[in-house]
């Protein structure tokens, strides 16, 4: 299936099966804001749990935190967000549409990259024994496009680094970039737009009472550094992990839950001795990739070093995932130096230092951060697992099924309990009895409506890894069939073994042991 088509189907699947709804839908929705339905809430909880266990439970030197969304306004001054958390904005005067200037230029780079790939594919079909590397390094057209990409990327990175809005506008004009919707090139100048949402405290008027909705959870960790250090008996190197909502007034919120205005982050700040940060940066780069690889095929993941470092970082890399709309950032790993603790120390007047007994000296620790969007991870898991396939039905005829091949440990429902028919009291009673036993161990669903084949399809569509069917033989010998989602194979097992089998195959430990 074409990726664009697949993405459209995935979005409507999410709504139809209770994973994700547009927010306030009865009022026609709110841009960039989404609600998670019954299945979505379960899947999100499971991804969150996978992250928390991998970070906090498996590392003796990482502890958890749950800090408030609202923080003292000076936090955002010290962190640099008031002055530097901006995106370059441009308006089209004809269509009145608003865009991020850097994204318009990146789209141009994507367009040129696509042209190169098309040329390579054409040549591959034309020549036997095609040498791709040779072709890429000698074909004049490919070389010209590659040079243009390099030139545009360098100028874009420079303009962003130096906050040169005029240079961005010049690039847009020179590249003759048009409004993707209307085709118009009638642009305003480019200007900086701060992404923080703000609100006002009721009891303090003016700037003093201006509060921000946090644009990252990380600052809650930095301002609690001393509290955690004193109360957790940790020594550097150690980490603080937190999961929570973050808010950004994104200029263009699109691609479903990829770029939202309210989203959830899973962040960990690892405090290290200055001078050791690159070792830890490398360590966390690898650890975090291993976490992703346990649930996503390797070919869909890659590293991408940052060309344009954030205001707080001295090294940064993204773990990118191949979303249906291309490789994009899933997680960021940043070496944040002592930028945050140093600035909070300067502005608050409190010492945010660690006494290192081995060196017999005080220092402000350096920080290596790992930050992954929970919603992006959700989209990555769903788009990896979503498939439409042709399979034989009960009569052996071809039929299509939509299946979510998501890792069993992350599946919203671990096991469905299905009486073969619903008009036989003994079958229903037995199925209910089994369901009532299983529900203490994991999320189960009882379903007796419709033919058994349709019920299997319903469970496939929400990614349920196991279906337990209670039939007439169950009443005779206390056995049931267990059907596995991906292979659709069925096996007869004693009722007494159901809990152990399903628990063992769907437990989070299946993932954690791979790390
Ligand atoms: N504390 C560092 C930080 O916030 P970031 O790269 O801006 O770094 C980290 O964000 C992660 O948060 C991203 O890799 C992405 O997964 C997620 N994220 C950022 N903005 C987002 C948005 N508007 N919608 C959904 N997820 C977002």
Q: Is the CB of 264 under 6 A from ligand 1?
A: no
- Give the per-residue pLDDT at 253: 83
SS3 string, 177-230, reads: CCCCCCCCCCECCCEEEECCCEEECCCCCCHHHEEEECCCCHHHHHHCHHHHHH
Q: Give strand pairing partners of 286.
A: none
- The CATH number, out of the four listed (3.30.40.230, 3.40.50.300, 3.50.90.10, 3.40.50.1010), of the domain defined by the range 86-192: 3.30.40.230
Q: Where are the domains of the chain?
A: 38-85+195-392, 86-192, 407-512
- DSSP letter for 302, please: E
Cα distance from N-terminal residue to C-terminal residue, the chain: 32
In order of 123, 232, 354, the CA distances from 362 in angstroms are 62, 19, 5
The counts of H helices and E strands in the chain are: 18, 23
- Give the pLDDT of residue 1: 62
Q: What are the phi and psi torsion angles at 405 (to 5°)?
A: -85, 70
How far apart are the CA of 48 and the centre of ligand 1, in A? 15
User: Which protein residue's CA is at the shortest distance from atom 15 of ligand 1?
Assistant: 373
Neighbours of 492 (CB within 10 A): 13
Q: Are 374 and 49 in contact (CB under 8 A)?
A: no
Contacts 24+ apart (CB under 8 A), 295-300: 295/50, 295/381, 295/384, 295/407, 295/410, 295/511, 296/321, 296/380, 296/381, 296/384, 297/384, 300/380, 300/384
pTM of the prediction? 0.92
> Looking at residue 3, what is its pLDDT?
82
Check residue 430 and give its pLDDT: 97
Instruction: Extract the tokens encoding 464.
Output: 């349920």
Q: Which of 36, 250, 251, 332, when mutated, tests ligand 1's pocket best, judged by the most ligand atoms within 8 Å of its CB? A: 332
Q: Are 300 and 322 in contact (CB under 8 A)?
A: yes
261 Cα nearest atom in ligand 1: 23
Task: Specify whether the CB–CB gap between 223 and 343 falls below 8 A.
Answer: no
- The rounded distance, in Å, linking the Cα atoms of 395 and 418 is 20
pLDDT mean values, one per 10 residues, the chain (515 residues): 86 98 96 97 98 98 98 96 94 95 94 94 92 95 96 94 94 96 95 96 85 98 97 96 98 92 98 97 98 98 86 90 94 96 97 96 98 98 95 83 97 98 95 97 97 95 98 97 97 98 97 96
Distance CA 466, CA 464 (A): 6
- Measured CA to CA, the distance from residue 144 to residue 115 in angstroms comes to 11
For residue 470, give the 3-state DSSP assignment: strand
Whether residue 260 has its Cβ less than 6 Å from ligand 1: yes
Residue 237, preceding bond cis, omega within 30 degrees?
yes
92 Cβ below 6 A of ligand 1:
no
Question: 372 CB less than 6 Å from ligand 1?
Answer: yes
For residue 56, the 8-state DSSP code is I
**CA 131/CA 135 separation, integer angstroms:** 6
CA distance 436 to 4: 42
Centre of ligand 1 from the C-alpha of residue 279, in Å: 24
How many other CB atoms are there within 10 angstroms of residue 216's CB atom? Answer: 18
Would you say the CB of residue 408 lies under 6 angstroms from ligand 1? no
Cα separation, 194 vs 166, in Å, equals 18
Count other Cβ atoms within 10 Å, centred on residue 20. 26
- Does ligand 1 have an atom closer than 6 angstroms to the CB of 102? no
State residue 381's pLDDT score: 98
Spatial neighbors of 136 by CB under 8 A, at least 6 apart, are 116, 120, 142, 146
Taking a C-beta distance cutoff of 8 angstroms, is the pair 106, 156 a contact?
yes
Burial class (CB in 10 A: 0-12, 13-18, 19+), 270: buried
| Domain spanning 407-512, CATH architecture | 3-Layer(aba) Sandwich (3.40)
DSSP 8-state assignment for residue 72: -
Helix (H, G, I), strand (E, B) or coil at 407: coil
Structure tokens, 32: 């960039």
Determine if ligand 1 sits within 6 Å of the CB of residue 484.
no
Q: Which of 253, 254, 226, 249 is nearest to 238 (CA)?
A: 226
Task: Estimate to the nearest angstrom the gap between the alpha carbon of 179 and the chain centroid.
Answer: 28
- Angle at the Cα of 257 from the Cα atoms of 187 and 194, rounded to 5 degrees: 45
Answer whether 292 contacts ligand 1 (Cβ < 6 A).
Answer: no
Q: Ligand 1: distance of its center to the CA of 247 in Å?
A: 10
Ligand 1 atom closest to Cα of residue 217: 1
Segment (H or E) for 374: helix 374-385
According to CATH, the superfamily of the domain at 38-85+195-392 is Bira Bifunctional Protein; Domain 2 (3.30.930.10)
Ligand 1 center–CA 376 separation, angstroms: 9
Alpha-carbon separation of residue 266 from 8, 324, 330, 386, 414 (angstroms): 27, 23, 11, 24, 24
């Amino acid at each position: 299936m074409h990726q664009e088509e697949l993405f459209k189907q995935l979005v409507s699947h999410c709504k139809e099966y209770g994973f994700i709804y547009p927010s306030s839908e009865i009022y026609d929705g709110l841009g960039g804001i989404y609600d998670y339905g019954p299945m979505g809430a379960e899947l999100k909880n499971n991804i969150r749990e996978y992250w928390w266990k991998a970070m906090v439970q498996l590392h003796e030197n990482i502890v958890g935190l749950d800090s408030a969304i609202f923080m003292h306004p000076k936090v955002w001054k010290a962190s640099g967000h008031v002055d530097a958390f901006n995106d370059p904005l441009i308006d089209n005067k004809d269509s009145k549409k608003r865009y991020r200037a850097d994204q318009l230029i990146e789209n141009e780079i994507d367009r040129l990259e696509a042209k190169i790939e098309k040329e390579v594919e054409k040549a591959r079909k034309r020549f036997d024994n095609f040498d791709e590397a040779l072709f890429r390094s000698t074909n004049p057209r490919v070389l010209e496009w590659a040079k243009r990409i390099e030139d545009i990327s360098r100028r874009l990175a420079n303009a962003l680094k130096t906050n040169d809005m005029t240079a961005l506008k010049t690039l847009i004009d020179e590249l003759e970039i048009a409004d993707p919707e209307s085709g118009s090139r009638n642009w305003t100048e480019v200007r900086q737009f701060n992404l923080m949402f703000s609100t006002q405290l009721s009891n303090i008027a003016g700037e003093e009472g201006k509060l921000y909705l946090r644009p990252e959870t990380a600052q809650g960790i930095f301002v609690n550094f001393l509290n955690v250090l004193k109360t957790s008996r940790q020594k550097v190197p150690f980490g603080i992990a937190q999961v929570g909502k973050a808010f950004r007034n994104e200029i263009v919120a699109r691609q479903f839950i990829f770029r939202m205005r309210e989203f959830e982050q899973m962040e960990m700040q690892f405090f290290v001795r200055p001078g050791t940060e690159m070792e830890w940066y490398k360590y966390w780069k690898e650890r975090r990739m291993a976490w992703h690889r346990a649930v996503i095929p390797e070919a869909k993941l890659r590293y991408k070093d940052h060309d344009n470092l954030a205001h707080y970082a001295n090294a940064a890399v993204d773990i990118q995932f191949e979303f249906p709309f291309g490789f994009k950032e899933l997680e960021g790993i940043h070496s944040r130096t002592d930028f945050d603790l140093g600035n909070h120390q300067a502005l608050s007047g409190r010492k945010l230092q660690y006494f290192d007994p081995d060196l017999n000296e005080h220092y402000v620790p350096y920080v290596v951060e790992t930050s992954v969007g929970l919603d992006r991870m959700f989209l990555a898991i769903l788009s990896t697992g979503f498939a439409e396939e042709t399979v034989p039905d009960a009569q052996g005829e071809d039929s299509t099924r939509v299946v979510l091949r998501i890792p069993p440990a992350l599946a919203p429902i671990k096991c469905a309990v299905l009486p073969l028919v619903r008009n036989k009291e003994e079958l229903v009673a037995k199925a209910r009895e089994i369901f009532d036993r299983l529900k203490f161990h994991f999320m189960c669903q009882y379903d007796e409506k419709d033919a058994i084949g349709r019920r299997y399809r319903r469970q496939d569509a929400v990614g349920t890894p196991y279906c337990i069917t209670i039939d007439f033989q169950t009443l005779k010998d206390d056995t049931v069939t267990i059907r596995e989602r991906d292979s659709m194979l069925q096996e007869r097992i004693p009722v007494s073994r159901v809990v152990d089998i399903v628990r063992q195959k769907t437990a989070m430990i299946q993932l954690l042991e791979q790390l």
